[in-house]
Each structure stands twice: as C-alpha cells, then as structure tokens.
Amino acid sequence: MLVAAWLLVMLTAASAVNVIIQNHWAGGFQGQVDIPVTSELHGWRVHLTFDQDVSSIEVWVADAQKVSDREYILSNKDFNADQHVGDTLSFTFLGHGTGDIAPHTEAFVEGMGTGGGTVTNEPVTVPPRTNAPSSGGGTSNKNYGDALGKSILFYDAQGSGRLPANNPIPWRGDSALGDCVVGGWYDAGDHVKFGFPMASSTTLLLWGLIRFKDGYVRANQLDMMYDMIKWPLDYFLNAWNPQTRQLVVQVGDGNADHAFWGRPEDMTMERPCFRLEPGKPGSDAAAETAASLAAGSIAFKDKGDTAYAAQLLTAAEVCTRSPRTNRGIYSQSIPNAANFYGSSGDKDEMCVGAMWLYKATRNNQYLEDAKANHENAWGWALAWDDKKVACQLLLFEETNDAAYRTEVEGFFQGWLPGGSITYTPCGLAWRDKWGANRYAGNAAFAALVAAEDGIQTARYRSWGVEQINYILGDNHHDGGCFSFQIGFGTKYPRNPHHRAASCPDRPAPCSHEQLDAPGPSPQLLVGAIVGGPDAQDNYVDDRKDYVLNEVATDYNSGFHSALAAIVHLQVTDNFPQTNNRCACNQ
C-alpha cells in the first residue's frame, strides 16, 4: 500500500504545473495556481512544492495542511469540491518565509494528470476578481500604500486595555483595565468606548480587507491589518453575553469624560457600563455588532485562522437573534449615548447585519431578512448612522438585481458633480461641517466598491480616487499639497483635537493646559484623518477647533478601505484617469 501510494504521487507529480509567482517582498510572496481539470473531481487535494523553505501559507479557497517547509497539501472547501473536465482550478495564495524569496513552485492534483503548464516565475498582472471592465491608464504620484499603513497606526493609537508587546505607539500604555469590558478602541480624541460607531467602523474596515486583500499584500500591510482589526473583534466577543443576552454598547460617561483632558492612562473617573438587554432593546447596535463579527469571520477564515473565525461566526449568529425579536433604537435605551451618537433607525443595520451573515453562512434566511429590511431610498451619506447604500450594494452583489443597482446609482447621482452635494473650490464633496473628510472618504469607498461590481466603473473609479487625492494633498491649503492625514507627506495637521497626543511624554503631567498650549502637539498622531475644511476649502490647524480637527475611528474607516481599493487598482493595472482641480505635483 505504501509503495502504491508513493507511485501514485510520483506519477501525478510528473505532470505538475509550474506556479506563477506574481509578487514578492521581504518575508513573503504571492502565487497564482491554474491547473487544467482533465478528469471529473468530486473533492480534490492539491500539492504545492517549493524549492525554498516556506514557513506558512495563506489560501482562501482551500484548507491548508503543512507537510514540511517545502510541501503543503490543499483540500477543497464544500463550495468548490466539484470540478469538471475543461474547467481550470484556479486560486491565489500567500507564502511566508525568510528574506525576499520567490521560490520555484509546482502544483499537482492527486490522481489527475495536468498536462503541463507555463514555466515562468516572472511577475504578472493579477486580473480583477470582478465583472468590472478595465479602466486603467491613469498615473499617480501618491504612495497610497504608505497612507494605508499610517492609517493602521492611528487605530493602534486608539487602543484601550492592556496593550500587546508589539504595540507600535511608544507614547501609549495600558489603560482602563478596570472597565466592565476591557479592550476595544477609544472613540475619538476622548476616552469613551462607543460600541455602535466602533462596530460600524470595524465592519467598513473589514469590508475593505475582504474585498481588496491584494491591496494590503501589495502595501505589505496584511499582517498589521489582521493584528489591528482583531482588537475590536476581541472586544465585541467579550461585550456580548449569550447567556444573559446582554450587549455592552458603551463604556464611560460621555459628559464626565469630556470634562477630562489628559491621557487615558491617567483616568480616575468612574466609567459606567451601559448594556442592552431584554426590555432595553437596541437592534441597530446589536445588528451592526453582528455584522462586524460575521465579516470578521470571513476575513479570518480567509487568513486560515478557522478556530477564531468559527468563534466570531457563532457569536454573530447568536447576537443577531436578539435584534430580530427585540426591535428598538439603542440610544433610546441608553440616553447617555443619545447626546453623542443618537441613532435614527435600525432597518439599515438590520439589512447590513443580515447580509454579512449571509455572506458568511450562505443561509438564505439571512438574505430574506436583508431584503425585508431593505429601504428603497437614497442615503444621505455612508456613515455610522446611515448604511442604506451599503445595504443596497451588498444586495446587488449577491442578487444582481437591477433594482438595487438603480438605488446605488441614485445615491451617487446626489453625490457626484451636478447632484445635491456642495463641492469645495478644489473639489471635495462636502456633505457637512462635522467630519467633511469622513463623509467624502466613506463615499469614495462605496464608489470604488460599486465600480468593482460593474456599476459605472470608469466614472466611479475616477471620482473615488479624486476624493482620496484631495484628502492626501490635492488642495490649495498652505500653498498646496497639504495632507489631511497626519504624517503623510511633508505638510499635515500638527494639532488634532486629541487628548493623548497633546500630552508630553510621561511622567510629565497633562491637563487642560495642554488644550491651550501653543505649538504642535508633543505626540504625532500618525495616520489620523482630521475633520477637514469648510465648504470654501478653509482650514485652521487649531487643537481647540474640534469641528475641523476632531479625529475618530469612523473618520478613518471608509478612507482606509478606499486606500486598499486604490492599491488594488494599481495591482490590477486599473488605476483610473483623474482630474483633481488643485492637483499636487510634488
């Protein structure tokens, strides 16, 4: 039996396909496997063999088993077990190793001859994973991958709880260890943990990771992104108690917190815990939390962390049962939240939550739930309290129903030039004075997703990239080339409305005096997006002006995922033509 098995492997290996290595970098590489199917398969096992040591691999359409540093066996998922003669078994994978390696790689399917393949290890263009037509031909002088990495650092700076040993923010330490739920993100420049916008931000960030993972690979930020996004997901797992059906949706009193100016490490005030429970409904916040958990399960299943993915999905499915039977607005149950993040309704969150659960499980009941909560209306914006266009986009992706496409186009009819949105002289789509950059960044991400879905691809790609270009410097503030992302380029805000960044290094004291202190903040809040300009492109870098200089986890979320989308366009040679009115050419 052992001899026969050995002979079978040797015979199939004799007709192995040479795998194309598309990209490589320090510590990893990306490969593309394309194996012609020459016999009917009802379940398959693919052997990958390398001529250099590969410490681990990540693959999203198969389960990976490590045989040695030179060989891995990939087994089919349930959804792709059947392969037919004439098909091509295709997938990409990431390999991790030491140094900048691009190993010669071969693949073969057990028991099936492959008929050879192209012998090359030269990088090639990765084809788009969409039905969107090509819209390439543009060029850019911006390092979007650098901006993406910096945005991850901003989220790291917002971490609450016991920070990990690899914490990259030297001026941040452990804080709020006595909270009812430890961990998570501080919301903005303050120290409240508002669960609803935290979940909304997490879902939007995960959407970008799932859809544009190759952007993170090209930017060499994939591991950092997984590390960053796990922080709020761990928090949500601890915030939800399935036995008591209680969900913590806020830690800290917003009013008491805003009276304190100092480091989170130095807080001494009471930090009350606000929960949803039977009799205190919050289907909007609960559904959004379920959405982030379900999206997280998809992302970490793709990563290969199946145990964590299963934990997230189980929590998401249990958490979503409560809002289906216990409808109500969370900020009516939690009056303290209403002063800061009052919700206007729950149907959009119910739809988005159901859609991510459908994507994670393929259970049609979730798709029907989403349709039942869908609203045939144009969203005011894509934001923590308005996810109509997200619901419509997700439904269109899964159903290809033209009615949902029309609704998405209606949203952008209002947002693109000629619609109802005000445009600044340099071209920012200016929705509101509170977080103008936030709304533009979120809409840009939605446009780039819609473009990938084949909706007005060329137009939406150009517009989405132009909005991000404005934020990163295509404006005339301070003589031009001013980035509203801190740390990007050479000119950017130095005085965000952020308590911890305004404090000198410990053990020096920090108090309200730092709010009024002249000069740049002692700590550079790398990666944060400040609120942005007024409708005339005017902006003042003033810590006390919290309208223009507030930062928040939701301010960065759509901008962040739009960056991943833009790097994806560069990877696939689909970067569009752009025409920013105040283009920075430095």
Indicate the pTM of the whole model: 0.78
Measure CA 397 to chain center: 18
DSSP, collapsed to helix, strand or coil, labels residue 228 as: helix
DSSP, collapsed to helix, strand or coil, labels residue 511 as: coil
In single-letter form, the type of residue at position 444 comes to A
State the CB neighbour count (10 A cutoff) for residue 533. Answer: 24
Task: Return the sign of the alpha-carbon dihedral for residues 64, 67, 73, 75.
Answer: negative
DSSP state of 539: -
**For 329, how many CA atoms within 13 A lie in the half-sphere containing its CB?**
11
411 touches 421 (CB < 8 A): no
From 124, 137, 130, select the one nearest 574 (Cα to Cα). Answer: 137
Q: Which of 474, 541, 542, 554 is catalytic?
A: 541
So what's the pLDDT on residue 115? Answer: 35
From 157, 236, 234, select the one nearest 196 (Cα to Cα). Answer: 236
Residue with tokens 């003589």: 479
Q: Which of 179, 257, 537, 550 is catalytic?
A: 550
Paired residues of 82 in beta bridges = 42
From 406, 244, 417, select the one nearest 318 (Cα to Cα). Answer: 244
Paired residues of 324 in beta bridges = none
Q: Which domains are seen in the chain, by residue range?
A: 2-109 (2.60.40.290), 144-571 (1.50.10.10)
- Per-residue pLDDT of the chain (586 residues), as tens digits, is 433 333 333 333 335 788 888 777 677 787 888 888 888 888 889 999 999 999 988 876 788 999 888 999 999 877 678 888 877 887 778 888 888 888 999 998 987 753 333 323 333 232 333 456 666 656 778 999 999 999 999 999 999 999 999 899 999 999 999 999 999 999 999 999 999 999 999 999 999 999 999 999 999 999 999 999 999 999 999 999 998 999 999 999 999 999 999 999 999 999 999 999 999 999 999 999 999 999 999 999 999 999 999 999 999 999 888 777 779 999 999 999 999 999 999 999 999 999 999 999 999 999 999 999 999 999 999 999 999 999 999 999 999 999 999 999 999 999 999 999 999 999 999 999 999 999 999 999 999 999 999 999 999 999 999 999 999 999 999 999 999 999 999 999 999 999 999 999 999 999 999 999 998 999 999 999 999 999 999 999 999 999 999 999 999 999 999 999 999 999 999 999 999 999 997 7
196 touches 285 (CB < 8 A): yes
Distance CA 568, CA 556 (A): 18
- Residue 475 phi/psi, 5-degree rounding, is -150, 175
Give 429-479 as a 3 state SS string: EECCCCCHHHHHHHHHHHHHHHHHCCCCHHHHHHHHHHHHHHHCCCCCHHH
Told to judge if 541 belongs to the known catalytic residues of this protein, a careful annotator would answer yes
From 335, 191, 196, 186, select the one nearest 269 (Cα to Cα). Answer: 191
